[in-house]
Amino acid sequence: MANSKHPFIPYGQQLIDNEDIQAVVDVLKSDYLTTGPAVDNFEEKIADYVESKYAVAFSNGTAALHGACFAADIGGGDEVITTPMTFAASANCVLYQGGKPVFADIDPNTYNIDPKQIRKKITDKTKAIIPVDFTGQPVNLDEIIKIADEFNLVVIEDAAHAIGATYKESKIGSIADMTMFSFHPVKHITTGEGGIITTNNKDFYEKLKQFRTHGITRDNLLLKENHGPWYYEMQFLGYNYRMTDIQAALGASQIDKLDKFIERRRDIVDQYNRGFSALNEVIIPYQQSDGSSSWHLYVIQIKKDLLSINRKQFFEELRQADIGVNVHYIPVHLHPYYQELGYKKGDYPYAEELYEQIITLPLFPAMTDEDVKYVIDTIKNIVIKHQVK
């Protein structure tokens, strides 16, 4: 990518400082490397931050979603409603348990799952709802929880994009039956790879802890027998989804900087919004009136009818300018695997139409104002160059 003089700007990137490095070094010098006191500490810090009673750390966000589906007792024949506008993990976790993902289309304004569409998809087989806080914008939790209560469904909130976000002054992570956060390096804070489930339900909490460790317990209150102090039991088929102390130490250090990271993300979003305000060819993201998004992604739409180039060409010109744009997401039902399962193009028109027009711009705390201006100016130049006369 040698067509610009500006250094390459990725769409997302972790920000690691010397405190984070030292936290990891301290663990490397300690007696514990895998699931030990650092994991306990990280779980406590996350639970405190989001104001939930419990938190259970996992090796990654997908594993955490799988654990939540297990805790919700999703199994063969059960249906779970989720959005097609998400990463595949939001639906794959249902398949892992033998359930069936059922997609409900999005609200074309917010890009989040539409509660009215959720209601249309409910059957006597529906067991849960997995709403996704797309880009960091919280879903309409009032309506979704109302539907869940009406039909006795579990709400597993996929908040991979939304740690630090709020919904009507409550922290995301304290509202749904279970909430998943991801700590992949492009997210708000990172553990390298990692995920967590927060919950206020003790039964879910106990199941999640045991599920991530092969279904094994040493808890005397849960054991069927007890042969001695060495004794443990595998009581169901769990997985090795444990987080390491190395990862947890990094996460615990990162969370101390989370509010500052989110403040910078919101500042960048404000710069983008001002920069694109006069461009008719670009649709900026929906923004909730209370400013509650934690802004994992900044997704614009390109008005193809006002430009002489298509989205692919627009995307390629940005990449040639060393701007590491991306597209979030290919709707899940369009992937070949899901097509083989019987999902069809045309089933979710709002998600499909959105996919054809979106581009994700760089957004991460280490971006400089110069980087942001370069992205804005480059997009303006491309628009001017390719305006339909």
With beta carbons less than 8 A apart as the criterion, state whether 345 and 352 touch: yes
Q: How many CB atoms lie within 10 A of CB 217?
A: 20
With beta carbons less than 8 A apart as the criterion, state whether 323 and 5 touch: no
Among candidates 162, 198, 158, 180, which has minimal Cα distance to 51? 198
Residue 68 has which token pair? 């939540």
With beta carbons less than 8 A apart as the criterion, state whether 372 and 271 touch: yes
Cross-strand pairs, 126: 79
Q: Spell 60-86 as b/e; 16+ CB within 10 A means b.
A: bbbbbbbbbbbbbebeeebbbbbbbbb
Among candidates 288, 325, 319, 317, which has minimal Cα distance to 386? 317
First vs last C-alpha separation in the chain:
30
Q: What is the C-alpha to C-alpha distance for residues 254 and 15, in angstroms, rounded to an integer? A: 9
Residue 4 has a pLDDT of 61
Q: What is the C-alpha to C-alpha distance for residues 280 and 270, in angstroms, rounded to an integer? A: 18
Residue 5 has a pLDDT of 80
Q: What is the C-alpha to C-alpha distance for residues 126 and 17, in angstroms, rounded to an integer? A: 45
In one-letter notation, the amino acid at residue 68 is: A
Residue 389 has a pLDDT of 79
Question: Residues of the chain with pLDDT > 90: what percent?
Answer: 96
Q: What is the C-alpha to C-alpha distance for residues 227 and 370, in angstroms, rounded to an integer? A: 66
Q: What is the C-alpha to C-alpha distance for residues 244 and 263, in angstroms, rounded to an integer? A: 29
Residue 354 has which token pair? 């959105």
Q: Directed axis angle between helix 61-71 and helix 202-211, to 10°? A: 120
Quick: pLDDT tens for 163-222.
Answer: 999 999 999 999 999 999 999 999 999 999 999 999 999 999 999 999 999 999 999 999
- Whether the predicted model's global pTM rises above the 0.85 cut: yes
Domains and CATH numbers, the chain: 18-255 (3.40.640.10), 258-386 (3.90.1150.10)
Residue 289 has a pLDDT of 80
Q: How many CB atoms lie within 10 A of CB 356?
A: 13
Q: What is the C-alpha to C-alpha distance for residues 155 and 144, in angstroms, rounded to an integer? A: 8
Q: What is the C-alpha to C-alpha distance for residues 120 and 133, in angstroms, rounded to an integer? A: 20
Write the CB contacts of 383 (distance below 8 Å, at least 6 apart in sequence): 279, 281, 282, 307
For the chain, residues with pLDDT lower than 50 are: 1-2
Q: What is the C-alpha to C-alpha distance for residues 298 and 362, in angstroms, rounded to an integer? A: 7
Write the CB contacts of 115 (distance below 8 Å, at least 6 apart in sequence): 140, 143, 144, 147
Max intra-chain CA distance, the chain: 82
* 267 burial level (CB within 10 Å; 0-12, 13-18, 19+): middle
- Residue 49, phi-psi category: left (phi > 0), alpha (psi -120 to 50), beta (remainder): alpha
